[in-house]
Each structure stands twice: as C-alpha cells, then as structure tokens.
C-alpha cells in the first residue's frame, strides 16, 4: 500500500543516515574503513560519519551523544542490513582475510525489494551487520 492509498500526508522515500552510538570513534572508523571500505567524513563541529553510496552512518560517542538522540543510546544495540556490490563469496573471503568472523551464513533472506543472500558479522561494538547481495 502506498502513502496516498493509506491517506497519509507523509511519504518516506529512503534512509539518509542512521546514528550509531559507539565506545571509540577511532576504532569504529578504522574498522568500517578497512573492513567495509566506507569513507570517513568530518562535518559540523568535528562530528564523524561513515559514508557509503548516498547514505551515511553518523557516530555518537557513548555518554556524549548529540541532542536529540535515542531514548537509550547504547553501543552494540544496532542491527543493520547493508547491501553489497559484489558477491557473498567474495565478501566472505575478504572478511576472513581481514580477521573478521562470519557468525552466520550465507543464508537466504527476504529483503525489502526481494530475496537476498546474507552473511552476519559484528563490528567492534557488537552491532550486528547483515551483509547482503541480491
């Protein structure tokens, strides 16, 4: 059902960014840069984000969150699915070479636009990342 059929005045189109609360910005940025190839961006008054495609992950340091923020910001509480540009097999090889343990997969999953092949890993804070290829 689209927004007009539901009678809603708001139509959500996409996700611009997600905020991750982290224990250590340097450790987090190094991992996402080195393991997942994201670029590091500094914006506003020295805030840090991880950019990939047309989205980004903004980082808040636990205990020093930017207002407004989630009700209970906690490192390791996120569960995010990221779409990959290559194959799952290539991702598994890359992760193993980087010393990152694949917790589960490859498995078949239902994505927002169709079937996905996914693997699951954790970042340095314990956030669960589903890495998927369609």
Q: Which of 65, 67, 103, 130 is catalytic?
A: 130
Q: Locate tokens 């059929």: which residue? A: 5
The whole-angstrom separation of Cα 36 and Cα 75 is 19
Q: Locate tokens 């990342």: which residue? A: 129
> Is 89 among the residues known to form the active site?
no
Alpha helices by DSSP H, the chain? 3-6, 25-36, 88-97
Residue 65 has φ and ψ, to the nearest 5°, of: -65, 150
Catalytically active residues, by annotation? 130
């Amino acid at each position: 059902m689209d927004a007009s059929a539901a009678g809603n005045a708001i139509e959500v189109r996409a996700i611009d960014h997600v905020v991750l609360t982290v224990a250590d910005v340097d450790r987090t940025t190094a991992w996402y840069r080195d393991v997942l190839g994201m670029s590091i961006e500094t914006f506003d008054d020295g805030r840090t984000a991880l950019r990939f495609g047309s989205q980004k992950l903004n980082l808040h340091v636990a205990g020093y969150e930017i207002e407004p923020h989630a009700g209970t910001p906690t490192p390791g509480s996120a569960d995010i699915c990221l779409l990959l540009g290559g194959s799952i097999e290539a991702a598994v090889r890359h992760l193993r070479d980087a010393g990152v343990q694949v917790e589960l997969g490859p498995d078949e999953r239902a994505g927002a636009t169709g079937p996905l092949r996914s693997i699951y890993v954790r970042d340095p804070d314990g956030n669960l990342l589903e890495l998927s290829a369609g």
